[in-house]
């Protein structure tokens, strides 16, 4: 049995990578495989949630929000605070889903058992957005495959993700 | 829309023309949608609400389905008229009780209702007689597409259609089926059904949705989760489970007839007798008796009445309907007398053919 290329444990995942025209064989143990697949997942472009909606403000303040739940800043669009939302049970505007994403995730998980939309998509959604949607979906599938130790499926998904990312990279330049 | 004219008619969905309409009163699908660039109604100023209403009202009018719809400005209506539309299931309590500019587009058959400035900017629903979820979905999906072709909905790749309440986010879909289950109530088997439904993530509510009591043995079964499952999958979950409940209700009814035909026959006949001869009757008692009679008709124990007449009575005997019919405001005692009059008249005159 081959040993993991990164540590000494037995390898369970065998990957043939083609990067920049070079063929490279990789043998990884379970934990390194998880790490590896997460790396390649994280390597993609960050989801550009409403990049045009005053990201600066949110970016600055979300760090503070992570550390303490009670000081989650108000939504820059509608001014509602997370506390107000908890009190009345209704959000103030669509942007709250971005502004309070970290706080909403556990709540959504609790209500729906899921946190990723898989239903209908507006037909008018811009191409890039639909592309992004597919990527997110694939990344989630990848995560699930890794969690369930379905490494062949995971490798296939990872290739598909990389293909899509490459496509987006070349197609996005105007 | 002439609301007074509606007092003499009923929605198409009440006519018991759809599949399994002996037990399934109606099927309904609603979608929640919001415009991308506006706060949700509860956070919008009156001026912004007015903008949203104007915009969506215009879009609804332009859409193919919208051309047939009559638009009713809810904030211009009196309380009684708003209550009347709630009783007919054309608007929600939320829309009725909300404030600011808001409205609803209603189809002449009363099977499409598009509410503007409810909890979300747009709440669209399609109703059908009987067990007909696929037809509901086909219709509502097309209406949604048509409106979406000219407005930008609030949508995120991760969370789907964004809604004021996180319980609706994702697909924004609520699929529900209204069932008449007197047999399961009578035999106290209904609790088992509820428990089984809850286990598969379905909610059970009364006739008028959230928080309403189960009146007249009517129960609404609907999905709870809206995120992480596709519309078709959500519909399928309900579509697959309903036939089991229908079979259960039918089995219980058959057993009731076999084991105790005379008792049952006596009970439904007395119910009809009370309805035909009472001089004052509460809404609650009416619902209870109508439920018995409705089952009696389905079991062939009562012959000279039709299900659509019964379905209509469930709606037309409610407070706002009676007051609209009489063109006057009435206190509870007066209403109870008016209700008894109306029922007597409807049950002794041959059923209308509308």
- Which of A47, A116, A125 minimises the CB distance to B155? A125
A90·B42 Cβ contact <8 A:
yes
Min distance B146 CA to chain A CA atoms (Å): 10
**A93 chain-B contacts, CB cut-off 8 A:** 38-40, 43
Whether pLDDT at B13 is above 50? yes
- Helix (H) or strand (E) holding B344, with range, is helix B332-348
Nearest to B330 by CA among B80, B4, B91, B7: B80
> Looking at the domain assignment, is residue A84 inside a domain?
yes
Q: Do A25 and A44 reside in the same domain of the chain?
A: yes
Best mutation target among B33, B144, B156 (most A Cβ atoms within 10 Å) is B156
Q: Do A106 and A131 reside in the same domain of the chain?
A: no
Residue A173: the pLDDT is 39
Q: Average per-residue pLDDT in chain B? A: 92
According to DSSP, the β-strands at B218-223 and B173-180 are antiparallel
> Looking at the domain assignment, is residue A77 inside a domain?
yes
B230·A115 Cβ contact <8 A:
no
For B101-126, what is each residue's pLDDT tens digit? 999 999 999 999 999 999 999 999 99
Q: How confident is the model at residue B87 (pLDDT cuts 50, 70, 90)?
A: very high
For A57-66, what is each residue's pLDDT tens digit? 333 334 334 4
Nearest to A143 by CA among A108, A167, A115, A105: A115
Instruction: Compute how many other C-beta atoms are within 10 angstroms of the C-beta atom of residue A45.
Output: 11
Lowest mean pLDDT among A26-30, A85-89, B21-25, B191-195: A26-30
Q: Do A23 and A4 reside in the same domain of the chain?
A: yes
Q: Do A152 and A163 reside in the same domain of the chain?
A: yes
Q: How confident is the model at residue A23 (pLDDT cuts 50, 70, 90)?
A: low
Give the DSSP per-residue string, A81-100.
Answer: -HHHHHHHS--SSTTHHHHT
**Domains of chain A: total:** 3
For the segment B73-82, the average pLDDT, to the nearest whole number, is 95
Q: Average per-residue pLDDT in chain A? A: 72
Indicate the pTM of the whole model: 0.77
Give the angle subtended at the CA of A89 by the CAs of A83 and A94, to the nearest 5°.
Answer: 85
> Looking at the domain assignment, is residue A174 inside a domain?
no
Residue B5: the pLDDT is 78
Contact between B223 and B112 under an 8 Å Cβ cutoff? The reply is: no
- The residues spanned by each domain of chain B are 3-248, 249-347
Phi, psi of A148, deg, nearest 5:
-90, 10
- What's the topology of domain B3-248? Creatine Kinase; Chain A, domain 2 (3.30.590)
For the segment B245-272, the average pLDDT, to the nearest whole number, is 96
3-class secondary structure, B8: coil
For the segment B53-63, the average pLDDT, to the nearest whole number, is 92
Domain range spanning residue A34? Answer: 1-60
> Looking at the domain assignment, is residue A87 inside a domain?
yes
> Looking at the domain assignment, is residue A122 inside a domain?
no
Residue A39: the pLDDT is 57
For the segment A44-51, the average pLDDT, to the nearest whole number, is 36
Q: Do A46 and A21 reside in the same domain of the chain?
A: yes
- Pick the residue from chain A with its C-alpha nearest to B152: A124
> Which residues have CB under 8 Å from B25's CB, separation 6+?
B13, B14, B129, B178, B179, B180, B218, B311
Residue A28: the pLDDT is 73
Say if B345 is an interface residue toward chain A (CB within 8 Å): no
Best mutation target among A90, A106, A114, A120 (most B Cβ atoms within 10 Å) is A120
Q: How confident is the model at residue B279 (pLDDT cuts 50, 70, 90)?
A: very high
* Rounded Cα gap, residues A117 and A98, in angstroms: 15
A115·B158 Cβ contact <8 A:
yes
* Rounded Cα gap, residues B106 and B36, in angstroms: 24
A115·B228 Cβ contact <8 A:
yes
Q: Do A109 and A70 reside in the same domain of the chain?
A: yes
For B158-178, what is each residue's pLDDT tens digit? 999 999 999 999 999 999 999
CA B353 and chain centroid, separation: 22
Instruction: Compute how many other C-beta atoms are within 10 angstroms of the C-beta atom of residue A128.
Output: 12
- Helix (H) or strand (E) holding B31, with range, is strand B24-33
Residue A49: the pLDDT is 35
More confident position, B338 or A170:
B338
A115·B226 Cβ contact <8 A:
no
- Which of B36, B154, B159 minimises the CB distance to A117? B159
B166·A91 Cβ contact <8 A:
yes
Whether pLDDT at A117 is above 90? yes
Phi, psi of B31, deg, nearest 5:
-120, 140
Whole-number Cα distances in Å, B65 to A133, A151, B147, B191 = 29, 49, 9, 40
3-class secondary structure, B267: helix
Lowest mean pLDDT among A33-37, B80-84, B90-94, B147-151: A33-37
> What sign does the dihedral B67-B69-B73-B77 (CA atoms) show?
positive
Q: Do A56 and A74 reside in the same domain of the chain?
A: no
The radius of gyration of chain B from alpha carbons, rounded to an integer in Å, stands at 21
Whether pLDDT at A128 is above 80? no
**B165 chain-A contacts, CB cut-off 8 A:** 89-91
Whether pLDDT at A33 is above 50? yes
Say if A128 is an interface residue toward chain B (CB within 8 Å): no
B165·A89 Cβ contact <8 A:
yes
Whether pLDDT at A35 is above 80? no
* Rounded Cα gap, residues B91 and B103, in angstroms: 9
Contact between B340 and B279 under an 8 Å Cβ cutoff? The reply is: yes
More confident position, B28 or A133:
B28
Contact between B44 and B38 under an 8 Å Cβ cutoff? The reply is: yes
Q: Do A48 and A71 reside in the same domain of the chain?
A: no
> Looking at the domain assignment, is residue A136 inside a domain?
yes
């Amino acid at each position: 049995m081959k040993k993991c290329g990164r540590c000494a444990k037995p390898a369970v995942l065998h990957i043939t990578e083609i990067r920049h025209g070079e063929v490279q064989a990789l043998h990884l143990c379970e934990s390194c495989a998880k790490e590896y697949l997460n790396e390649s997942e994280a390597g993609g472009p960050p989801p550009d949630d409403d990049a045009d909606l005053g990201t600066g403000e949110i970016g600055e303040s979300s760090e503070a929000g992570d550390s303490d739940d009670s000081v989650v800043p108000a939504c820059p669009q509608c001014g509602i605070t997370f506390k107000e939302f908890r009190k009345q049970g209704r959000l103030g505007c669509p942007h709250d889903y971005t502004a309070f994403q970290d706080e909403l995730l556990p709540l959504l998980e609790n209500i729906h058992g899921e946190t990723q939309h898989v239903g209908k998509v507006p037909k008018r959604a811009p191409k890039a957005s639909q592309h992004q949607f597919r990527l997110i979906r694939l990344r989630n599938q990848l995560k699930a495959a890794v969690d369930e130790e379905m490494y062949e499926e995971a490798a296939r998904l990872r290739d598909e993700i990389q293909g899509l990312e490459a496509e987006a990279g070349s197609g996005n330049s105007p | 829309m002439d609301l007074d004219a509606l007092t003499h008619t009923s929605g198409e969905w009440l006519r018991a023309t759809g599949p399994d309409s002996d037990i399934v009163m109606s099927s309904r699908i609603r979608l929640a949608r919001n415009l991308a660039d506006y706060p949700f109604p509860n956070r919008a100023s009156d001026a912004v609400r007015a903008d949203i209403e104007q915009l969506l009202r215009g879009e609804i009018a332009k859409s193919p389905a919208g051309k047939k719809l009559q638009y009713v400005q809810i904030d211009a209506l009196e309380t009684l008229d708003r209550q009347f539309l709630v009783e007919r299931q054309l608007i929600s309590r939320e829309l009725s009780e909300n404030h600011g500019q808001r409205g609803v587009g209603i189809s002449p058959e009363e099977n499409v209702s598009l509410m503007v400035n409810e909890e979300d900017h747009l709440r669209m629903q399609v109703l059908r007689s009987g067990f007909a979820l696929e037809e509901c979905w086909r219709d509502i999906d097309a209406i949604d597409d048509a409106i979406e072709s000219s407005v930008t909905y609030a949508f995120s790749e991760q969370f789907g259609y964004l809604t004021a309440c996180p319980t609706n986010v994702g697909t924004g879909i609520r699929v529900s089926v209204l069932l008449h289950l007197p047999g399961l109530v009578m035999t106290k088997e209904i609790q088992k059904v509820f428990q089984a439904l809850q286990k598969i993530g379905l909610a059970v509510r009364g006739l008028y949705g959230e928080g309403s009591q189960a009146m007249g043995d009517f129960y609404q079964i609907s999905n709870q989760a809206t995120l992480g499952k596709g519309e078709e999958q959500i519909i399928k979950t309900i579509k697959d489970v309903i036939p089991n409940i229908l079979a259960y209700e039918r089995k219980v009814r058959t057993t009731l007839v076999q084991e105790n035909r005379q008792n049952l026959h006596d009970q439904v006949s007395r119910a009809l007798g009370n309805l035909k001869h009472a001089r004052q009757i509460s809404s609650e008692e009416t619902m209870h008796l109508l439920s018995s009679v409705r089952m009696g008709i389905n079991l062939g124990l009562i012959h000279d009445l039709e299900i659509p007449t019964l379905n209509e009575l469930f709606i037309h005997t409610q407070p706002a309907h009676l007051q609209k019919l009489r063109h006057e405001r009435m206190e509870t005692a007066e209403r109870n007398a008016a209700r008894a009059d109306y029922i007597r008249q409807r049950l002794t005159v041959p059923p209308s053919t509308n």
